[in-house]
Chain A
Amino acid sequence: MIKIPHAGIVIMIGASNSGKSTLLRKWIADGLLLPSEVVSSDHFRQMLGDTDFIDWTIGRSVEEVDSLYETYQKISSEAFHMMEETVEARCRLNKVTFIDATHIHPDDRGKYIQMAKRVGVPITALLLDTALETLLSRDLEREKPRGKNKVKKQYNQLKKEKRFIKKEEYARIYVLKEGEEVTIERMSNPLLIDVAQGIDIIGDIHACYDEMITLIEQLGYTTNEDGLYVHPEGRKLLSLGDIMSRGPESLKTMQFWMQHVNTDLAYMVDSNHGWKIARWLRGKTVKMAYGDEKFVEEMELYEQQNSEEATTLLKQQLENFLIAAPSHYILTQNDIPTAVCVHAGIKDEMIGKESRDIKDFSRYGETAGIASNGRPIRLDWTVHHHNSLLVIWGHDPKPQPLIANRTVNIDQGVVFGGQLTALRYPEKTFIAVNAKQDYAEDPTNPLNEWEKKRLDPPNITKLVNGYTVLTADLGEVEVLADYVQAAIDTTSHFTVPLEQLVYIPPTMSPTPKPSQLDDYLEHPQEAIDYFKSKGVTTLVAEKKHMGSRAVLLLFKNKEVALQKIGFATLGIIYSRTGRRFFERETEQQVVQSLNEELTAKGYFTKNDTDFVLLDAEIMPWNLKAKELIRSQYAHIAEQAILDRSKLLESLTQGMAARGDLAPWLSQMEEKLEHAEIFKEVFQKYCWNVDDVDAIQIAPFHVLAHSKQTFFGEPHTWHMKQNEAFAESSKWFVRTDYRIITDKTSEQEVVDWWTTITEQGHEGIVIKPEYFITKYKGQLIQPALKVRGRKYLNIIYGMDYTEPANLERLKQRNTGKKQRMALQEFTLGIEGIRRFVNNESLERIHESVLATLAMESTPVDPRL
């Protein structure tokens, strides 16, 4: 029985006429091989040169022989080249390829051995040992015989080569005697694991046995009669390696995994410590340091307490167990690969393959030499991960599971006093257990080192030429170089420091369709219809405050702020473009007072949080927009009223003499009225701010606390929080809202909107009940604004309601605005999640900068 691996090269070795092609044809006929799994040089000669053989020897002149020989050589050389390319491509695709050629010369075999090694697939040799007589008699039967001399020569050459072939690096070599009946068995890829009932993947344990058992029990595993941990639903465990060293109980932990792996209850991949210990167990000279010396101590203790035989046996068992660990596993669902589990890192092209290089990479990841402290300088291999598989890895401790670029790191440094994390697959949820102590007591504790670097300035080279942010809800969001550069100009000149800039509020689209009513541009009905068409039945309609959007990041005290963002401050308030909202002094005054209020309410203690991040509107409008109002809105109101009242005067006077001026006169009356409304509308949002007490803040989203975000809460929850903030506060104000569940409440909202907007209020925002809402798997608009008929005067101009204008304005297209709204919304959530997750400034800023970049893309500002 010949075992054929799931992928790679099978080279046939044998002289012409040895029966290679016949054997392969039989296997194809028996359904053991696909015709496409066999390549032969004859086939390529035929394909390229229209013939598979040229006999250049018989009955020709010397010139003719030379020429024919050259032609044949040329065809052959091209054919081999093409064949090698084909075989290598099939190897990359993890296919099996049988090569039907003689492979008598060592070079012919060597290039395929190298190829297999390079790509990371196994190579198998099938040697056909056929007697010379058979070869010669078969040659005579051929349509184009190779000739006696040539066959003899090949036979003798192969005879010489046999002993060398046995030393060559094949996964397996099979020698087939003439007339022997053989068949083949196709093997499956040992790296594939069917997810089945679920897999629980555990990060670097480093001998923290107690924490490991606690975690496994929390995952729902219980011991069976053999003392092995099994899951009632049949889930299995998978370790990302480095189960030993540094920590207190290497041996116990290794025995645990060995038993569970050997009984098919668990899997474990290879790792740097595992590999080193394996070599030590094998008796190789390796320097046992970086925590490996602790394992040696344990082993010595074991030796003292047990017989020599027992020790040797254990060592042998452990070595076999460690050596057998593959570089990585591929998790499949319905036979389709969806995730990869690997210790330190992997390149896309290595996935599903195995070789010395791949093993090496999977143990150490990508490195760039050794730093002065003796540690390897780790490079970020995750940036090169492009395919859709989720790569789950450990090795490089981070304080929190780090999800980046479809990779997730679940080494939370339990041995350094961090956490031991499990990722449940396919659920993709995390369960973590805190370390009982810092066992490693390493002066360069990687968790501390990471924390020191957390707020390092972002790497500009990763951003400046455009980049993508992988978001949980919208996949990859791409930002282009030009806009990124404009955004960097903003963050370099105008915004608050990058550490403080954790979130930029998303833009919001008006209703995708204009109002069906003749004299309205926007109306709540279209928003309600939009959400209904997206399957949303409960809506929340919130009054839209007319002030300036602001983000408030308020801390419990200055110490926690220093730790979180590197600035000892009680809080920051910035505008939707990231600029400081108030003058420095005013900000301090407001923030100080807000802190006192929140502290008095016990907000931080009650919610067990170091900070609160709020999305809010700050009123009055003139607080921030005074100059714009003065030079733009007021100026235009004055211009329009002066112009129109003068004309009205002249037209009235003219009317005395001539009646045909009537239509011009009534038009002017109407226009003057428009100007008066315009002037009335913008004043509605302004009042005197002689001191800070006149400022009002309406928080409408509680975005985050230290340990959680609130994107899973319904907007009614956010409104409840808003009420609580407004209670006994001199800053916070309530936001009026209504809930839509049926026709009656729908009409109530329309009536409410009509009433308040006739009074000049800006309008309302209609949101689906839940913050993040999807329809048929697609994210839908998180909110739509419906602005009042009067308010829109200051957006579309004072005469926008004239039929000729309205008709044209109704042709507006909100497509781009909607796309931007969705992308910015998702980026905002992504950035806040990263911020709460204590990720690096670079990771948070990536989202923030992307939103700023979106905001510099051209879009109609009236939408």
Chain B
Amino acid sequence: MQLTIKATGNHITELSHLLAKNPNNLYERKQKEHIVRIFYETFNHSELKMTTYVVPDSLALVKNTNNTYDITHYINDREFAVSSIFTSFIRNAFGTALNGQPKEEYIEWVSHRYDFEFSFGPIASELSDAQIQSLFEPLGYKVQIEYGETNYQFNMKERSTARFINIEGNVTLQTGLRQIFVLIPVIDNYKHYFIDETEVEKLERYGEGWLDEHPERELIFKRALRFKELYSPLEKTGLTTLPQKKVRLNDLRYSKIIDAVENLSHKKTVVDFGSGEGKLSEQLGFVDGVQEILAVEPSQIEVQKANRRFEKLVGDSQFVMPTNHFGSLFYKDERLKGKDVIILCEVIEHIDPERLPRAMSVIFNDYQPKTVIITTPNREYNSVYDMDDKKRHNDHRFEWTRREFQQWCANRMENIHYNFKFDGIGEEHPQFGHSTQMCIFTREEESQ
């Protein structure tokens, strides 16, 4: 991680005072376990070239964080890429310049524009070159991007994921540095925020005078908003608008299932298999006649999300609190025997088809609920979405046509006494049917 500042033209010597760095000395300071260094490559009347870099303590950098038990944690780009870590390390060294508070006699040069060339990197960013350019060009910079080497002995990647940025422009030192300090974390890919809350304030302060008018203001804030907790004060002030993302199909699916459950004569006990974050279980909690809901989900992360959802409804007398039930389709669970309804809403397509028959046999033969409700995507309908051969979710192990699903359901019925009927969810396309298909199985003794 490094930053080189090059300036040419007049009044160059005054710049060293704005930077508060003596060109005759090497600068070396400890920032916790890490070393910040600054040296001048060139310093004369017409040219200044100064480089600052950090020699991080790689072991200290990976200590005491959350994912210590993942190998990728130990081999990562944090000790190389410029990021918020870098800006926080060097902030002290550039304090005078960033704040524009040199010694009294040099204060007039704070607002003086120089011909600058800032080079920094490497960057680790998912932003395209064009996007990076769009961050700097509106500010009056000429941008050059250099790529790292990819000369591997086997085919791996066309282009390096390491880039080095060079921007040229005529700005004051303070503005140039502030823009870089704001935009480095925006460019950086890192998902985990590293520094403290005062950064929020700094973003506002450093952005003064240029950020509000920046045409990519949205992008800059969106990238900054990755660290949501920290920036939520900004969100409230309406500085940004989050895209409205609502999957209507999901709601249709739930309401269809809820309708189906409401119409059942036996619905006291309901099992929501693969309940995920608990959306369907929540709605089942409001169905009249339902007295027990078992939300079955093996993923602890999903269970936590569901719990937060359910907790909000504590005290609502209309609501039957779902019970988290640690379970799985691939094990036998005597506690699930003899329930009224078992629902598998968008579950089966996440299971390898070869594992399905035995799992279904446990439901129909061992648990023997009065009703089984299964929903799954209708692949035919993907044409309506212009999806070609793609699946709707990358964890889907299959998506079936109506014929395939119907055949599969029929195959489940060997030696099993259930009646079954099919239905669709979502708008019906004359050729491709509904987006989601549904089958309701009713135990024969119940349907008589």
| A and B part of one assembly | yes
Known pairs A639-B80, A646-B164, A647-B51; A488 contacts B150 (CB<8 A): no
- Let me know if B358 is at the binding interface, CB within 8 A: yes
Q: Is the CB of B2 within 8 A of A646?
A: yes
Known pairs A628-B72, A636-B76; A664 contacts B2 (CB<8 A): no
Q: How far is the CA of A176 from the CA of B262 in the complex (A)?
A: 81
Q: Is the CB of B331 within 8 A of A460?
A: yes
Which residue of B58, B327, B334 is within 8 Å of A799 (Cβ)?
B58
- Let me know if A622 is at the binding interface, CB within 8 A: yes
Stretch from B196-204, B239-247, B312-320, B347-355 at the A interface: B347-355
Interface residues of B in 353-376 (CB under 8 A from A): 354-355, 358-359, 362
Q: Which partner residue on chain A sits nearest B37 by CB separation?
A: A664
Q: Is the CB of B59 within 8 A of A795?
A: no
Q: How far is the CA of A628 from the CA of B72 in the complex (A)?
A: 8
Interface residues of B in 64-82 (CB under 8 A from A): 68-77, 79-81
Q: Is the CB of A488 within 8 A of B328?
A: yes
- Give the number of residue pairs across the A-B interface with Cβ within 8 Å: 185
Which residue of B74, B121, B149 is within 8 Å of A797 (Cβ)?
B74
Interface residues of A in 574-631 (CB under 8 A from B): 622, 626, 628-631
Of A566, A653, A809, A861, the most chain B CB neighbours within 10 A belong to A861
- Let me know if B289 is at the binding interface, CB within 8 A: no
Q: Is the CB of A809 within 8 A of B59?
A: yes
Of B2, B26, B70, B330, the most chain A CB neighbours within 10 A belong to B330
Q: Interface code A632-646, partner B: CB below 8 Å = 1, 0 otherwise?
A: 111110111111001
CB distance from A803 to the nearest CB of B (A): 13
Q: How far is the CA of A809 from the CA of B74 in the complex (A)?
A: 13
Stretch from A510-518, A522-530, A553-561, A680-688 at the B interface: A680-688
Q: Is the CB of A630 within 8 A of B157?
A: yes
Q: Is the CB of A641 within 8 A of B148?
A: yes
CB distance from B46 to the nearest CB of A (A): 15
Q: Is the CB of A636 within 8 A of B4?
A: no
Known pairs A457-B332, A636-B77, A796-B74; A642 contacts B350 (CB<8 A): no
Q: Is the CB of A643 within 8 A of B156?
A: no
Q: Is the CB of B161 within 8 A of A638?
A: yes
Q: Which residues of A contact B163 (CB under 8 A)?
A: 642
Given A459-B334, A635-B162, A686-B156, list of 18 further CB < 8 A pairs?
Answer: A457-B362, A463-B331, A488-B298, A497-B355, A629-B156, A632-B75, A632-B76, A638-B122, A639-B148, A641-B162, A642-B163, A643-B2, A650-B51, A664-B39, A687-B154, A799-B58, A858-B68, A858-B69
CB distance from B435 to the nearest CB of A (A): 24
Q: How far is the CA of A171 from the CA of B358 in the complex (A)?
A: 56
Known pairs A460-B333, A488-B298, A493-B299; A861 contacts B69 (CB<8 A): yes
CB distance from A550 to the nearest CB of B (A): 18
CB distance from A58 to the nearest CB of B (A): 68
- Let me know if B448 is at the binding interface, CB within 8 A: no
Q: Is the CB of B300 within 8 A of A489?
A: yes
Number of interface residues of A (CB under 8 A): 66
- Let me know if B41 is at the binding interface, CB within 8 A: yes
Q: Is the CB of B299 within 8 A of A622?
A: no
Q: Which residues of B contact A455 (CB under 8 A)?
A: 358
Q: Which residues of B contact A461 (CB under 8 A)?
A: 333-335
Q: How far is the CA of A461 from the CA of B53 in the complex (A)?
A: 57
Q: Which residues of B contact A634 (CB under 8 A)?
A: 150, 152, 156-157, 161
Q: Which residues of B contact A636 (CB under 8 A)?
A: 75-77, 80
Q: Is the CB of B75 within 8 A of A491?
A: no
- Let me know if B40 is at the binding interface, CB within 8 A: yes
Interface residues of A in 451-478 (CB under 8 A from B): 455-461, 463-464
Known pairs A497-B352, A628-B72, A683-B153; A489 contacts B298 (CB<8 A): yes
Q: Which residues of B contact A797 (CB under 8 A)?
A: 58-59, 74-75, 79
Q: Is the CB of B334 within 8 A of A493?
A: no
What are 16 A-to-B residue pairs whose CB atoms are below 8 Å? A461-B335, A464-B326, A497-B330, A497-B355, A630-B157, A634-B150, A634-B161, A639-B148, A641-B149, A642-B149, A643-B121, A643-B122, A647-B51, A651-B51, A683-B152, A797-B59
Chain A residues near B (Cβ < 8 Å): 455-461, 463-464, 485-486, 488-489, 491-493, 497-498, 566-567, 622, 626, 628-636, 638-643, 646-647, 650-651, 653-654, 657-658, 660-661, 664, 667, 683, 686-688, 794-797, 799, 805, 808-809, 858-862
Q: Which partner residue on chain A sits nearest B120 by CB separation?
A: A646
Q: Which residues of A contact B164 (CB under 8 A)?
A: 642, 646
Q: Is the CB of A640 within 8 A of B80?
A: yes
Q: Which partner residue on chain B sits nearest A465 by CB separation?
A: B326
Q: How far is the CA of A646 from the CA of B355 in the complex (A)?
A: 54
CB distance from B99 to the nearest CB of A (A): 26
Known pairs A638-B150, A686-B154, A799-B58; A632 contacts B72 (CB<8 A): yes
Which 9 residue pairs spanning A and B have beta carbons closest together?
A460-B331, A638-B148, A638-B162, A639-B80, A642-B148, A861-B71, A492-B328, A489-B298, A654-B41
Q: How far is the CA of A629 from the CA of B334 in the complex (A)?
A: 45
Q: Which residues of B contact A630 (CB under 8 A)?
A: 156-157
Q: Which residues of A contact B156 (CB under 8 A)?
A: 622, 626, 629-630, 634, 686
Q: How far is the CA of A643 from the CA of B121 in the complex (A)?
A: 7
Q: How far is the CA of A600 from the CA of B152 in the complex (A)?
A: 39
Q: Is the CB of A488 within 8 A of B331?
A: yes
Q: Which residues of B contact A463 (CB under 8 A)?
A: 331
Q: Which residues of B contact A632 (CB under 8 A)?
A: 72, 75-76
CB distance from A744 to the nearest CB of B (A): 37
Q: How far is the CA of A797 from the CA of B78 in the complex (A)?
A: 12
Q: Is the CB of A493 within 8 A of B350?
A: yes
Q: Is the CB of A642 within 8 A of B74?
A: no
CB distance from A314 to the nearest CB of B (A): 48
Q: How far is the CA of A486 from the CA of B301 in the complex (A)?
A: 10
CB distance from B92 to the nearest CB of A (A): 20
Q: Which residues of A contact B327 (CB under 8 A)?
A: 460
